[in-house]
């Protein structure tokens, strides 16, 4: 049994299998997941677990070089945007329309569904390299 980091076996396996520039997504309870994209559903109840708690856990093991966020988060959920930037202060941020972010989920290795209930709490993480 793992002692630290990601103990969810599905998430741990996805992160371990990622290479440079691969994508992993984390999102709120309402984000539609394209057919064919692996969905790891962690949602238990409203706000449980939160988007930020899941993101913090994934970042314990995943090197991220770039993130993709919905442009709408700037006006509709600035507190969540600030929390994301605080966790990833030196990571490049690309803002895309929410409609594009939804389409891009089809290119991710998996989508991790949280219990988050705030708008536009969705992210695509692009993996970096550790060397």
Would you say the C-alpha torsion 8, 10, 12, 15 has a positive or negative sign? negative
Q: Would the annotation count 122 as a binding residue?
A: yes
The answer to whether residue 1 scores a pLDDT higher than 90 is: no
Has 20 been annotated as catalytic? yes
Omega into 49 within 30° of 0, i.e. cis? Answer: yes
Domains and their CATH numbers in the chain: 9-127 (3.40.1650.10)
Measured between alpha carbons, how far is residue 114 from residues 66, 82, 108, 120 in Å? 21, 19, 16, 12
- Kindly report, residue by residue over 64-114, the tens digit of the pLDDT: 999 999 999 999 999 999 999 999 999 999 999 999 999 999 999 999 999
> What is the per-residue pLDDT for 3?
85
Q: Is 109 annotated as a binding residue?
A: no
98 is in an annotated binding site: yes
Q: How confident is the model at residue 39 (pLDDT cuts 50, 70, 90)?
A: very high
Q: Which of 20, 38, 56, 60 is catalytic?
A: 20
The per-residue pLDDT of the chain, averaged, comes to: 97
Q: Has residue 51 got a pLDDT over 90?
A: yes
User: Could you give the angle at the alpha carbon of 95 between the alpha carbons of 91 and 96, nearest 5°?
Assistant: 140
């Amino acid at each position: 049994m793992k002692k630290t980091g990601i103990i969810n076996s599905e998430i741990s396996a996805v992160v371990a299998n990622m290479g440079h520039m691969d994508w992993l997504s984390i999102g709120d309870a309402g984000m539609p997941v394209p057919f064919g994209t692996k969905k790891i559903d962690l949602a238990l109840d409203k706000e449980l677990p939160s988007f930020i708690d899941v993101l913090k856990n994934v970042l314990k093991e995943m090197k991220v070089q770039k993130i993709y966020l919905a442009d709408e988060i700037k006006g509709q959920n600035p507190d969540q945007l600030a929390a994301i930037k605080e966790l990833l202060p030196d990571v490049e941020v690309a803002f895309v329309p929410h409609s594009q972010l939804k389409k891009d989920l089809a290119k991710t290795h998996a989508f991790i569904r949280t219990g988050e209930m705030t708008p536009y709490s969705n992210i695509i993480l692009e993996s970096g390299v550790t060397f």
